Amino acid sequence: MSYHINTKCLQAGYDPKNGEPRVVPIVQSTTFKYDSAATLGKLFDLEEDGFFYTRLTNPTLSTVAAKIAELEGGVGAMLTSSGQAASMMSVTNICHAGDHVVCAAAIYGGTFNLFNKSLRELGIEFTFILPDATEEEINAAYKENTKATFIESVSNPSLDVADIETYAKISHAHGVPLIVDNTFPTPINLRPFEWGADIVTHSTTKYMDGHAVAIGGVIVDSGNFDWTNGKFPMFTEPDESYHGVVYTERFGKAAYITKAVTHLMRDYGAQQSPQNAFLLNLGLETLHLRMERHCQNALAVAKFLEANDKIEWVNYPGLESSKYYERAKKYMPDGTCGVISFGVKGSREKAMQFMDSLKLTKLVIHVADCRTCALHPASTTHRQMNDQQLEECGVKPNLIRMSVGIEYIDDIIDDIKQALDKV
């Protein structure tokens, strides 16, 4: 039986047996008991399925991961302690020192630092691609040692909409997988695997949790990429740390995600806590309802701002004035996300005056919360970037990012109105 994605938000991944808890239980145990040393030995050699230590996985974590895998339409998923950990491991699962990644320039500031500083320091090189790059320019970025392409489906905070199909085509022509950070649209609005992507990541801290209560991330494997094309010996040659297991032979379509759990999570240990996974699951249960309202409210706010003469520009892919309107309609016919950005006319100071006058809308370093919030990236999340880097990732110095919540729409707009009156 195949259910609609809205039903999967509630019920996927967990099917309690007779007398079991109706709600996914929090298994607050780091370890699991077995009757014989031989059974434990088999678990360690990956010959049998089972839980043995929560740093690798545990029943709560694997249940919630299975739900997200179903929402994205993948063969498996791995929860991580944060979105940063998901981005990091999505790349280091296949890239080592001396390898190279082609990456969209319009990405989350934290991901940019992770790649451009920390992973560079570990010997992985990155080429960043501007949002309006042509197919030829993207093609030209690939090298002999390129092992992956990384993009954001809808970028945070610049709201560029990626042409996933084109990126998938180019990526596959070079024999490497396309990794898509799908945090902003969520699988409710966009499922990158349906457009050729191979791996999806999320900061579950954002819409998936949705209530700003639990940091977390996830990596989802489509199962579609051919790891046996000669570029990825980590899947086709024996892993001596597991008695010579060959991931593609033993795990088939789930080679990538199995290696992520058994190798990277074992070694890096950036596991999500069962408590956070439980909270994440509560968020997932209403994700479809919340995304619909986020999109409705954001479009109404965007239209209001666009008609206001104190506003210089409004950027929301759902607006007809957006250069991404057509592309957004193609990939996300039901809406993109609840995040919009705009510039208040005048100086940087006017923008800050507006921010300080908001009442219902709170100033927080967060986005994709059910409560409306706003942020000035140039002075906060992106303050480490110089002007050229800001321009390259599409962040204007007077950009205000507003994450429109699911409150009653008139109250949100009234708050913006009164704040604009004070500018």
Ligand X SMILES: *Cc1c(COP(=O)(O)O)cnc(C)c1O
> How many Å apart are CA 374 and CA 190, to the nearest integer?
24
Closer to ligand X by CB, 60 or 205: give it: 205
Q: What residues contact residue 304 under an 8 Å CB cut-off, 6+ apart? A: 413, 416
Q: At what angle do helices 409-421 and 348-357 cross, to 10 degrees?
A: 130
Closer to ligand X by CB, 106 or 138: give it: 106
Closer to ligand X by CB, 108 or 316: give it: 108
Nearest CA to 403 among 372, 361, 363?
372
Q: What is the binding site for ligand X (CB under 6 A)?
A: 82-84, 87, 108, 110-111, 152, 156, 181, 183, 203, 205-206, 215, 217
Q: How far is the CB of 80 from ligand X (least distance, A)?
A: 9
Q: How far is the CB of 153 from ligand X (least distance, A)?
A: 9
DSSP result, 250-314: HHGGGHHHHHIIIIIIHHH--PPPHHHHHHHHHHHHTHHHHHHHHHHHHHHHHHHHHT-TTEEEE
Phi, psi values for residue 305, rounded to 5° = -65, -40
Closer to ligand X by CB, 198 or 415: give it: 198
How many CB atoms sit inside 10 A of residue 242's CB? 18
Using the structure block, give the residue that is written with the tokens 């992985």.
Answer: 124
CA distances from 337 to 18, 75, 287, 367, 385 (A): 39, 25, 12, 11, 25
- DSSP conformational letter for 379: G
Q: What residues contact residue 231 under an 8 Å CB cut-off, 6+ apart? A: 147, 175, 176
Nearest CA to 369 among 410, 408, 406?
406
Q: How far is the CB of 183 from ligand X (least distance, A)?
A: 4
Q: What residues contact residue 268 under an 8 Å CB cut-off, 6+ apart? A: 85, 88, 89
Name the residue whose CB lies closest to ligand X.
Answer: 83
Q: How far is the CB of 422 from ligand X (least distance, A)?
A: 30
Q: How far is the CB of 280 from ligand X (least distance, A)?
A: 11
Closer to ligand X by CB, 51 or 268: give it: 268
Closer to ligand X by CB, 93 or 258: give it: 93
Using the structure block, give the residue that is written with the tokens 């249960």.
Answer: 285
Q: How far is the CB of 195 from ligand X (least distance, A)?
A: 18
**What is the 3 state secondary structure string of 110-151?**
HHHHHHHHHHHHCCCEEEEECCCCCHHHHHHCCCCCEEEEEE
Q: How far is the CB of 380 from ligand X (least distance, A)?
A: 13
Closer to ligand X by CB, 217 or 242: give it: 217
Closer to ligand X by CB, 108 or 167: give it: 108
Closer to ligand X by CB, 57 or 183: give it: 183
Q: How far is the CB of 204 from ligand X (least distance, A)?
A: 7
Q: How far is the CB of 110 from ligand X (least distance, A)?
A: 5
Using the structure block, give the residue that is written with the tokens 């001396």.
Answer: 98
Closer to ligand X by CB, 255 or 393: give it: 393
At 136, list the tokens: 């030829």
Q: How far is the CB of 154 from ligand X (least distance, A)?
A: 8
